[in-house]
Every structure is written in C-alpha cells, then in structure tokens.
Structure 1
Amino acid sequence: MRQSFPAKSAFNPDRDIPDLTGQVIIVTGANVGIGYETAKQLLKHNAKVYVGARSEEKATKAIASLKEQTGKEAVFLRLDLADLPSIKSAVEEFTQKETQLHVLFNNGGVMVPPLEQLTSQGYDLQFGTNVLGHFYFTKLLLPTLISTAAASPSKTARVINTGSFASYLRTSVDFNTVKESPARKRLGVQKLYAQSKFGNAIFSTELQRRYGDQGIVSIALNPGNIQSDLQRHLGSFAKTLMDKTILYPTPYGALTQLWAGTTDAGLSLGGKFVVPWARLGPTPAGSDDQAHAKAVWTWLEEQVANV
C-alpha cells in the first residue's frame, strides 16, 4: 500500500536536481507520459537530451512542446524498441553524433496490448519491447557508457530501468512464453506484462553485477501508479476507474527516476530497486537470483547475436 499511496516526496526536482550542463542523456519513450516529464526536467537543468521514439511526427511535436516549456531543444533519436535492427541503427546514429552518454533512462514500454501483437522479430510485444529491446539498446551503448564513466568526476554512468509495481508479481521468466506459443496465450496479457516488468528488474541487477566495477550504476524502479499513455490498451471503464482511484498525475511518475538518475544519492543505488516517491524499496523476489539472472542474460544475448 505504501507504494500505491506513498507519502509526500522529499525530493523536489526543481530544487534538488543539480546543474546538468555538459551531460548527455537518452530517455526512451520521451515523446509522451513519464518519459516526457523526465525529459522536461532534464532540459530545465541544462542536459542535452535525446528523445528516443518510434514516430518522428510525435517526437517532433513533443520536442516543440518541450522547447516551449523549457527554452531548450531536445534531439530526436529514431528508435523502435520492438524492432532489433532499428535499435542497432539508433545506436549507430547516436554514436556518430556523441562520444559520451552520462545517463540512459530505459523508460519506454508497452502495457497489456492485444495478445496477437508481436514485435517485428516475433517476440511477445511486452517482453520484446520492455526487456529485449532495452537490453539490446543498453548492450550496444555500453562501450560509450563505460568510457563516459571513466572520464567523469564521479567515475560513473547510470542506467535507469523503469519497472513497475508489477515487478513484484512474478518471480521468474518463463522462456516458453516470450514467443508465440500456447503457453503464452495461457499466461495472458496481464501476467505477460508482469513478467516483462520483472524482466526489467532482473536485467537491472545483472547489469550492475557484470559492469558495476566499470562504473555502471544500474537502478530499477517503480515510478508509481501514474496517468499516462501506457493505459491506452485498457478498456474505458477500467481506465476511468483507475484515473479516479489510484492514479497520480503524470509528473509524479518522473520523480523517482529523476532522483535515481541525477542526484548524488542515486550514485549509491546500483543494483537496488527504488519506489515512489524517490526512496529505496524492497527488491522484487527472484530478481537477485544469480543463477536465473545469468540464464535470462544468456537468453537475451542469444536473441541479438546475429542482428
């Protein structure tokens, strides 16, 4: 209940985010919702922000709106997390423009889409986008993140992985359900969503385990129950009920990941799970299971080996 109805945040982004001049940051899914609010605060504090998004039209409108609100202009990065070659192209585009990446916000995602929807390579859309897509994006950006960490005063670079309260609702990944199969259909979209959010958590802890000694600070989080575009696949009755009972305005959703991604406190949170609003929370059961984390990582590596 504390995560669904948290106490007032002690973290105030206007007051507590430091000057980010010189920092290069990517926010996936930054054209809408929590990602948009995250990008807005980063721009207000002078970061150079790349908006990772599939639709150039929507991203262009978001960038124009961000400039109107902040006076700063974000940069569009064409990125379709549901298509592995698109991810590779996005990283190639980014690394042609930048030699540093201080923070990667793996924020974008999809929730409970129609069951028949799959990624371009035939993966469950939720796991393929939320987990596999962000894994591959992060993997390709790791050399830049590691070299940035080595050159930075803090000797760190951060990867902030947006999970959910649903991260607590599964304790393992069933590899029989991540592509089209009878087992996937039996699991259903709600449990597939929870599995993908658990996947965010276990990926985050394994990333920290593997690369923490090279300066990577990997943090997973529950942003809270937030009004956003993420609920677009819910029925109108369910969405209206949630809006009136448990959902907070969209800017609240950026609080916890901004705290993790920009403050000195966040530097000590590698491998942890943080919760609303901007505080350390319990680690989802199973996400620190090293044997299973290794199996998940190995599976993810195998899926992108020949892209």
Structure 2
Amino acid sequence: MTTSHPEFNRDTEGLDVAKAFPDGIRNRTILVTGVNLGGVGFSTSQAFASQSPACLILAGRNLNKIQKCIDALKKDFPNVGYRALKIDLSSQNSVRAAAAEVLAWSDVPAIDIVVNNAGVMCVPERILTVDGLEMHFATNHIGHWLLTCLIMPKLIKSAEGKPKGTTRIVNVSSLSPTIATMRWSDINFDKPNKELPEAEQPPYAMLEAWGFADCRNRAYIPLDGYNRSKVANVLFGIGATKRLYEKYGIYSLAVHPGIIETELGRDFNEEQLAALAGMRTKGIFIHQTLGAGASTSLVAALDPKLKPGETVNGRENHGSFLVDCQISDSATPLSVSSSEAEKLWALSEDLVKEKFSW
C-alpha cells in the first residue's frame, strides 16, 4: 500500500496537499480541534478552507481566539461557512456540551472529516482534571475520543452512499509512538517508574536526553505524560476503524505532524529548551513551517489510496500511522497493536462511564 503522492515529504505544504485532493474537500463539512493563530490547527484549517468546503467547524477553549482565526480565514476564503465551537477537552462535561451543540445544528446534518488536532504538552507538574484523570491523557485522548464517539451519528450520516473510507477521523499524534507504550497499570502516574512492569517503563535514555533527571525514581515526568497520550491517539484510530470501517466505511488514522515551533512547547523549562537546542544543532530535529505541519493531516484526511492496515512483515495495522505525508512503520509494535487498541477502548468507556455501539 502506498499513497497517491509518494513525492510528498516533510517539506510539503498543507495547501499543496489540499490542491491535490480538491474533490475531497469541496462542499464537505470538516471539524478541526485546537485552532489558534500560530498553531498547526490554523494552518490545517487554512489548507481545507482553500478548496471551498461547505462548512469549517473550528473548536477550541477560547471563543475569542477562534473568532480571530475565522476572521483571518474569511479574508482569504470568504465563501466558506464557518462555525466556532467552544470545548475544553480536559472536561468530560464540556465535551458533552460541545457534542450536544453539534448534534443540535440542524443545518449541519453530516460531518465528513474530523481532525483531532488539539493537545497539551509537558505540563510541568502532574495535574488531575475535574474527572480525576492525568491532564495529558484526559485532554489529548479521552476528550477527543469522547467528542468523536458522541458526534458519530453525523459521521455515519456523512458516510451513507459514499465509497468506503471517504469519511475520516484523523488523530494528530507525534513521534511518541515510535518510542513509548501505554502505562496501563498506572495511568495517573502514582507509582515511581522503576515499579512499573518492564514493558510499561518509559524510554529512560530519551527522557534523560531531554534534560529530565532521576527518571527511575520519579512517577510523573512531563514528557512521559505527553508520550503516553500520543500512543493512545494511534490506538484510538485502530479501535475506531475496527468498529466503523466495515459497517459504515468510516476510517480513522493517526499522524505525526512534524516538528513545528508553536505554543505547544510553552511549558518547557530551561533544561528542556537547552536539550532541544542541542538536538537541533545535531540535526536530530529539523523545524518545519506551520504549513508543512498541516500536510500529513491533510494526506490522512483525503488520500483515497489509503486503506485500513493489513499485517505487513508481521506488523499489525500497516497504514494506521503516517509521518512526513507517507505511511510509516516506525511506531513500536505495541503502539499499533489491535489488542492494545481494544484495551484502550474498554478503558476509555470505563472512564467516561458510557459504552458506544453504532
């Protein structure tokens, strides 16, 4: 399995991907979470807006920030219908209220593409949300998973009568699935890392390279919290595809958007910033433009050649994770495991106290 455009790469701009697949966008309704000026959510929305979708729903915590994005997009693309959706993904009540609002929009009968782009990264101290969950996991995974499950009737409506795989859910992950796994036995980071089962212990060398010390004796390390939630983004896509693709033709997959300077890194301390600068000097990290940060999400949302993953070379779910606009096999086996995806689905249902069956 390959993509339609094997020449697309790390430097491809989201606008160029949108131009390559205009029919996948025109007259469609698209929802993007985590949209603010100067972020990847905005450049993703901009790329979609360039090809005349019927409606672009921009979701975020701050309605003023979303309105600024809508105003900026309207200047260039005045003929698109825009909607602002207020949502705090760290609160299940807020997610439920936002989903109820979307379901109540009678003039938006279907949603064709969802890009779960919002995220928090490296929250300095462990914070438990109002629902009693660690902040990264609650925001980056549970909030998006719950929102997507609740608005599913509108995605199912979109998929009616269309070729399989036209309606899509894209989860914006990171490179974390290439080095991390889930922390099943201790999702709230209560235990020191050294007490975890071997398979759940974090990649110590990587965390130390980022400037975190004494990792074995600590329970919560900001980057580890982020990494675990980003593995969940991939597993969520695998679990959703299993439930929705054969039955309705809805396809879900995850992407690493690239290394882009945005507000996401606002919580880095001096050690992390120094470590990052060192990695940049060595060429380990190469920064991309905001537009390039949108491109892999656009490929995942639009490329008709992408199909749910098969087992290739003994690895499950080939095609569930994209990097630099192409299918990547760089994720750890546990990050693309069907059984891990089922475990996450069951856990997610327990944590929101609701089971979903469509």
Fold equivalence (TM over 0.5): yes
Q: Which residue of 2 aligns with 1:3?
A: none
Give the aligned residue type for 2:222: V
1:277 to 321, 324, 332: 324
Q: For the residues of structure 2 that align with 1:281 and 1:181, how far apart are their CA atoms?
A: 33
| 277-286 or 45-54: bigger deviation | 277-286
Aligned to 2:132: 122
1:88 equivalent in structure 2: 96
CA distance in structure 2 between the partners assigned to 1:46 and 1:243 by the alignment: 37
The reply on whether 1:302 has 2:336 as its aligned counterpart is no
Highest Rg: 1 or 2? 2
5 Å matches for 1:97-246? 97=105, 98-152=108-162, 156-176=166-186, 178-179=187-188, 181-183=190-192, 186-213=219-246, 214-235=248-269, 237-238=273-274, 241=277, 246=286
Task: Output the CA distance in 2 between the equivalents of 1:258 and 1:22.
Answer: 16
After TM superposition, the score normalised by the length of structure 1 is 0.88
Identity rate, percent? 26
Partner of residue 31, structure 1? 36
Query: Which letter maps to 1:260?
Result: A
Which letter does structure 1 place at the counterpart of 2:338?
Q
Which residue matches 2:21? 17
Once the two structures are TM-superposed, the CA of residue 189 in structure 1 deviates from its matched residue by 1.2
Checking the alignment, whether the CA contact within 8 Å between 1:100 and 1:148 is kept in structure 2 is yes
Aligned residue among 270, 280, 300 for 1:260: 300
**Which stretch has the larger CA shift, 287-296 or 129-138?**
287-296
Q: What whole-Å deviation, never above 9, does each CA across 1:87-116 have from its counterpart, x for those lacking one?
A: 111111111112101001011111101223
The equivalent of 1:62 in structure 2 is: 69
Cα displacement (A) at 1:7: 5.6
- Give the aligned residue type for 2:26: T
63-72 or 51-60: bigger deviation: 63-72
Q: Secondary structure at the match of 1:261?
A: helix
Q: Contact 1:273–1:283 at 8 Å: present in 2 too?
A: no
In the superposition, relative to structure 1, how do residues 290 and 89 fare at CA in structure 2: closer, same or farther (>3 Å)? Answer: same
Alignment CA distance shift 1:243-1:41 (3 Å): farther
SS at match of 2:22: coil
* Alpha-carbon distance in structure 2 between the residues aligned to 1:8 and 1:116: 35
2:5 aligned partner? none
How far apart, CA to CA, are the structure 2 residues paired with 1:61 and 1:35? 13
Contact 2:321 2:327 in 1 (8 A): yes
Contact 1:67 1:73 in 2 (8 A): no
CA distance in 1, matches of 2:322, 2:111: 25
- Note the residue ranges of structure 1 that are not aligned, 5 or more in a row: 1-5
Structure-2 residue corresponding to 1:45: 51
1:182-217 CA-partner distances (Å, limit 9, x unpaired) = 448514111111111111111111111122112111
Change (3 A) 1:73 1:175: farther
SS, match of residue 296 in structure 1 = helix
Contact 2:241 2:308 in 1 (8 A): no
How far apart, in 2, do the equivalents of 1:294 and 1:263 lie? 26
Q: Compute the displacement of 1:168 (Å).
A: 1.5
Q: Does the 8 Å CA contact 1:111/1:230 hold for their aligned counterparts?
A: yes
Equivalent-residue separation in structure 1 for 2:33 and 2:324 (angstroms): 21
Q: For 1:146 and 1:283, locate their aligned partners in 2 and report how far apart those are by CA, in whole Å.
A: 31
Shift of 1:175: 4.2
Relative to its length, the structure with more helix (as a share) is 1
- Greater shift in the superposed pair: 85-94 or 256-265: 256-265
**Deviation of residue 220 (structure 1)?**
0.8
Name the CA shift for 1:288/1:90 in 2 (closer, same or farther; >3 Å). same
Q: What count of residue pairs does the alignment treat as equivalent?
A: 300
Cα distance in 2 for partners of 1:87, 1:67 equals 27
CA contact (8 A) 1:260 1:269 kept: no
